[in-house]
Amino acid sequence: MSTDDEPNASQDTLIKEQLRVEIDATRQDFHQLLGDVHEEMLDKPSQNPDWTIRETLYHMSLAPRNLPTDVRMIRHLKWVPKFPAGPFNRMNRYLTRRGARKLDKAALAARYDDAHARTMAALESIKDEEWAFGVDYPDWEPMLSGFVSLERLFHYIRLHFVAHAEDIRAVMKSSH
């Protein structure tokens, strides 16, 4: 039976289902990418001059790990911090480098899976009427700036992954 035939199917319910599929596919794609990266490549520089491939893979788990906090800020505080980009970028660089230290591929996979579970729990908590709730984000990250609704925030998981995955794949391709 199609969703058009279901009397209780709403556009908002479809949003949640589409996001569920998109975020699960992103997790699968992360594991595929991780599997394609050979151990000896982990400490090679990525296309981001601040990070190695290991650090970039770890960093990819931060968007889904931090998403539940953003959801709480949007829902309850109705704002997100807007400190300058410089301190944000320094903090991002430091936390990524520190978090990635000594992580092997199994640990990177576990970190991503934990972050994925947090994101999925946050997704399930969204009520249909909340999808349009949002706040203005600072312009630190072009894919997540300006007015960000809860729906857009969840889509960011995919966008963030794709951007960094392209960087890693480019390094892998150039090393062959």
Please indicate, yes or no, if residue 138 is contained in any of the structural domains.
yes
CATH of the domain at 93: 1.20.120.450
Question: What are the pLDDT digits (tens) for 123-147?
Answer: 999 999 999 999 999 998 899 999 9
- For the chain, list residues with pLDDT below 70: 1-9, 176
Please indicate, yes or no, if residue 28 is contained in any of the structural domains.
yes
> What pLDDT sits at residue 8?
46
- Kindly report whether the global pTM for this prediction surpasses the value 0.85: yes
Please indicate, yes or no, if residue 131 is contained in any of the structural domains.
yes
Please indicate, yes or no, if residue 106 is contained in any of the structural domains.
yes
Question: What are the pLDDT digits (tens) for 86-99?
Answer: 999 999 999 999 99
Q: In terms of residue numbers, what domain contains 165?
A: 9-174
Split into its structural domains, the chain has a count of: 1
Please indicate, yes or no, if residue 1 is contained in any of the structural domains.
no
Please indicate, yes or no, if residue 141 is contained in any of the structural domains.
yes
- Per-residue three-class SS string for the chain: CCHHHCCCCCHHHHHHHHHHHHHHHHHHHHHHHHHHCCHHHCCCECCCCCCEHHHHHHHCCHHHHHHHHHHHHHHHHCCCCCCCHHHHHHHHHHHHHHHHCCCCHHHHHHHHHHHHHHHHHHHHHCCHHHCCCEEEECCCCHHHCEEEEHHHHHHHHHHHHHHHHHHHHHHHHHCC
> What pLDDT sits at residue 150?
98
Please indicate, yes or no, if residue 4 is contained in any of the structural domains.
no
Please indicate, yes or no, if residue 2 is contained in any of the structural domains.
no
